Amino acid sequence: MGSGRHGAARPPIGVLIQQDRVDFSLFASIIVVALAVMVLIGVGLSAAAFWLAVLPVFAAAALMVRRISRLSRDELRDEELL
């Protein structure tokens, strides 16, 4: 087993989001624009455009999760140095 701390509490997600408000607001705007395109296009007329608009939603969600985990790891690493 590693020598890391077991049961180390991660900071709340809200705190992590406040650290990088610009990044998370950009991710949220990508999702909102993609959802708006999906609503305006509809499934019936152009199914290809609808499904292409789904891709940014998943990409932005994945980037949000990765950014939160990176910020969390950095926060834990900073606490260990103290």
What are the pLDDT digits (tens) for 22-60?
A: 888 888 888 888 888 888 877 666 677 777 888 888 998
Axis crossing angle, helix 21-41 with helix 47-81, rounded to the nearest 10: 170
- Tokens standing for residue 71: 């910020």
Identity at 48, one-letter amino acid code: A
pTM score, whole prediction: 0.66
Taking residues 59-74, what's their average pLDDT? Answer: 88
1 pLDDT higher than 50: no
Among the ranges given (55-59, 70-74, 75-79), the one the predictor scored with the smallest mean pLDDT: 75-79
What secondary structure letter does DSSP report for 43? T
Task: Give the pLDDT confidence score for residue 24 in this predicted structure.
Answer: 87
